[in-house]
Amino acid sequence: MSNVIVIGGGTNGLVAAIGLARAANKVVVLEAASEVGGALRQIEFLPGFKAAPVAGDVGWLPPDVARGIGISVPARPAAGTVAAVPLDGGRWLELKAGAEATAASLRQWSSKDADQWPAFAGRIHGIAGFLASLYGAPAPRIDASSIAEFLDLAKLGRQLKGLGKTEMIEVLRTIPMSVAELLDEWFESEPLNGLIASQAITDLGQGPMSGGTAFSLIHAHVGLPAGMIRGMSGLAAAEVVAALAARAREVGVEIRTGTRVRRILVEDDRVKGVETADGAMIPAGEVVSSLDPYRSLLELVDPINLDPEFIQAVRNVRFRGVVTKVMVALDGLPALPAGLGGVVAIAPSMRYLEKASDAVKYGRCSDDPYVEVRFGTGSAPAGKQVAVLHVQYTPYRLREGNWDALRDQVADRAIATVNAHLPGFADRVVGRVALSPADLEREFGWREGSATHGEMMLDQILFMRPVAGWARHAMPVGGLFLAGSGTHPGPGMVGGSGWLAAQAVLAARKQKR
């Protein structure tokens, strides 16, 4: 029985730890913060007001992962309105949990769009199903050199062919498109297009007219029921974290919070353990890092242990955080659609989003940002409310100024933007705390404030994630594995990367024997 260290106690780290502990390992999870949960952690941003700034929705829990680590977390199937765009005169364009309900709701705006909706939802669901089948297995290797890999590849081909002729063409045709082009083929209502497109650009430094954003829309839909185009897994972040932590302890994982790792120790091309911030050495045969690829490989490992070509590839991973989170304390709710279970999106049109995205190219924040408001999240004193604002585009790399100077301006601008579309909102605000991309980097350890540990764009997925040739979790240093969402299959789900990383550790051991 040998020691395994898992760096980072987010969901991927915990899932990896559980997967390894179940295979009879002594596993230690080292978490820098005072509690586990990573991105799902709640913060008390004002006295009595708590919210998880980034995890409005935790994503789906792949059934394979849940089964593999032996947990079950009840999902409360979304009901009612999952996303809504406020329109003039207090009216709303709403997406509902089911395809039929959405179609009915859209009919007041466009009967054409209402008619198209079920087919559109079905098309997206079909393509997402194909992606889901890729996400449950190690990244395919196109340069198959062994028979086994070639069989994997053949399986991929069969899965693609299994979609049926039209679906298969649609997969190949749709994935490289821009979401703007895709939606042009289906819908005419501008707010509907804006609302759908806003899902496709979330966390990306691109606007809806950029190529590859259609993929991003479909990725967000993987694991969700047909018809639910806006992500709503129905899982509660706190419950997921609690279940994982409990399960980890149950299978004997030791969790050390408040323990920051300073270095991963390497000798003769193999990990020897880690050194913590307080100078302690913890030996281990394997180190599994759930931090992002850049921090894991280029900050924790002495670069002398890596080939320059590999270092260059890791440096080329694009992070480019563009989101500021604003946690808002409210003394009450503004007028909202009845049965709103999801978000209010300030996305009146695709053009609005595209305009907002222009700023990022010049290293500025959007004058009129895309803002997504999540009400009823976190906890607040009696009679009060919490809302979390996702504000995009606010680039980590500013051409002028710095985030300490800009943070409050961006927060004010975001609240004003919401207020312009949702009159009365600003009057309810009694306090707010903003986390800029720079703050998110500091607070959560994400490079450049990128919640996704690297942009989910076509060139950074599957066999390219985190870097080409190293997409199967094992890194060039012997015994070092990556388990964070910067690896295949990536963000938007619970433990997908952690689970595959644990399998990779076990497979590597078998090979060594």
Partner 1 sequence: MLKTTPFHPRTAPLILGQSWRRWSGFSVASSYDLLPDREYAAVRNSAALFDISPLCKYRLRGRDAGRLLDRMVTRDLSKCRVGQVMYTPWCDSHGKVIDDGTVSRLSDTEYRLTAAEPSTRWLQMNGFGLDATIEDVSDDLGALAIQGPLARTILNQVADPTVEGLKFFRVMPARIGGVAVEISRTGYTGDLGYEIWVPADGAVKVWDTLMSVGANYGILPAGIWALDIARIEAGLVMADVDYHSAHRALIADQTSTPFELSLDWTVSLDKARYNGKQALVREHASGPAWRFVGIEVDWESFEALYAAHHLPPSLPTVAWRTSTPIYRDGRQIGYASSGCWSPLLKKYLALAHIRAPHFASDTRVEMEVTVEHQRRRAAATVRKLPFFDPARKKA
Partner 2 sequence: MATNSYDAIVIGGGHNGLVTAAYLARAGKKTLVLERRHLLGGAAVSEEIFPGFTFSVFSYVVSLLRPEIVRDLELPRHGLQILPLESTVTPLPNGDYLAGWGDSDLTRREVSRHSLRDADAMVEFGRLMHHMAMAVRPILGMIPPDPTSLAPSDLAGMLKLGGHMRSLGSENFHALYKLMTMSAADYLDEWYEFDALKATKSASGIIGTFLSPRSPGSAYVLLHHYMGEIDGAFRAWGFAKGGTGSISNAIGNAARALGATIRTEAPVAKVLTRGGRATGVVLDSGEEIMAPLVVSGLDPRRTFLELVDPRQLPDDLVTAVRRFKFRGSSGKVNLALSELPNFTCLPGVGPLHRGAVSISPSMDYLERAYDDAKYGEFSKRPYMDIVFPSMLDPDMAPPGKHVMSVFVQYAPYHLNGGWTDAKREAFGDAVVDTIAEHAPNLKSAILHRQVLTPLDIERVTGLSEGNIFAGELALQQLFFLRPAAAWAKYRTPIHGYYQCGAGTHPGGGIMGASGRLAALKILADQ
Q: Which residues bind partner 2 (CB under 8 A)?
A: 141-144, 160-161, 165-166, 168-169, 172-174, 176-178, 181, 185, 206, 209-212, 312, 316, 318, 351, 354-355, 358, 361-362, 457-459, 463-464, 468-469
How many angstroms separate the CA atoms of 398 and 403, rounded? 8
Q: Which does 298 bind (CB under 5 to 8 A by kind): partner 1, partner 2, none?
A: partner 1
Separation of CA 251 from chain center: 27
Closest to partner 2 by CB, 130 vs 375, is 130
Cβ atoms within 10 Å of 238's Cβ, excluding its own: 17
How far are the Cα atoms of 90, 333, 424 from residue 336, in angstroms, in the given order? 9, 8, 11
Give the contacts of 197 (CB within 8 A, at least 6 positions apart).
179, 180, 183, 208, 213, 217, 347, 350, 353
Separation of CA 9 from chain center: 16
Interface with partner 1: number of residues (CB under 8 A) = 14
Q: Which residue has the tokens 């990896």?
A: 16
Please report how close the Cβ of residue 513 comes to partner 2 at its closest, in angstroms: 26
Instruction: Looking at residues 313 to 372 of the shown chain, list those that interact with partner 1 (rule: CB under 8 A).
Output: 315
Instruction: Looking at residues 266 to 285 of the shown chain, list those that interact with partner 1 (rule: CB under 8 A).
Output: 268-269
Of 23, 298, 398, 429, the residue at the interface with partner 1 (CB under 8 A) is 298
* Residue 47 interacts with partner 1 (CB under 8 A): yes or no: no
Please report how close the Cβ of residue 480 comes to partner 1 at its closest, in angstroms: 14
Closest to partner 2 by CB, 163 vs 482, is 163
Q: Which does 305 bind (CB under 5 to 8 A by kind): partner 1, partner 2, none?
A: partner 1
Q: Which amino acid is at 140?
A: P
Closest to partner 2 by CB, 256 vs 318, is 318
Please report how close the Cβ of residue 115 comes to partner 1 at its closest, in angstroms: 56
Closest to partner 2 by CB, 160 vs 507, is 160
How many angstroms separate the CA atoms of 410 and 471, rounded? 37
Strand order in the sheet with 270-276: 261-267, 270-276, 281-283
Please report how close the Cβ of residue 230 comes to partner 2 at its closest, in angstroms: 23
Closest to partner 1 by CB, 10 vs 466, is 466
Q: Which residue has the tokens 């190529």?
A: 211
Of 1, 147, 304, 338, the residue at the interface with partner 1 (CB under 8 A) is 304
Please report how close the Cβ of residue 306 comes to partner 1 at its closest, in angstroms: 9
What's the token pair of residue 442?
A: 């500091």
Length, in residues, of the chain: 513
Q: Which amino acid is at 147?
A: I
Q: Which does 269 bind (CB under 5 to 8 A by kind): partner 1, partner 2, none?
A: partner 1
Please report how close the Cβ of residue 360 comes to partner 2 at its closest, in angstroms: 9
Q: Which does 303 bind (CB under 5 to 8 A by kind): partner 2, partner 1, none?
A: partner 1
Please report how close the Cβ of residue 264 comes to partner 1 at its closest, in angstroms: 13
Of 162, 283, 303, 469, the residue at the interface with partner 1 (CB under 8 A) is 303
DSSP string, 352-401: HHHHHHHHHHTT---SS-EEEEEES-SB-STT-EEEEEEEE---SS-SSS
- Dihedrals φ, ψ of 7, to 5°? -95, 120
What is the torsional sign of CA 214, 217, 219, 222?
negative
* Residue 302 interacts with partner 1 (CB under 8 A): yes or no: yes
What's the token pair of residue 456?
A: 């989910």
Q: Which does 510 bind (CB under 5 to 8 A by kind): partner 2, partner 1, none?
A: none
Bridge partners of residue 29, in order along the sequence: 6, 255
Of 464, 455, 491, 378, give the one whose Cα is nearest residue 10.
Answer: 491
Q: Which does 311 bind (CB under 5 to 8 A by kind): partner 2, partner 1, none?
A: partner 1
Residues near partner 1 (CB under 8 A): 268-269, 298, 302-305, 307-312, 315
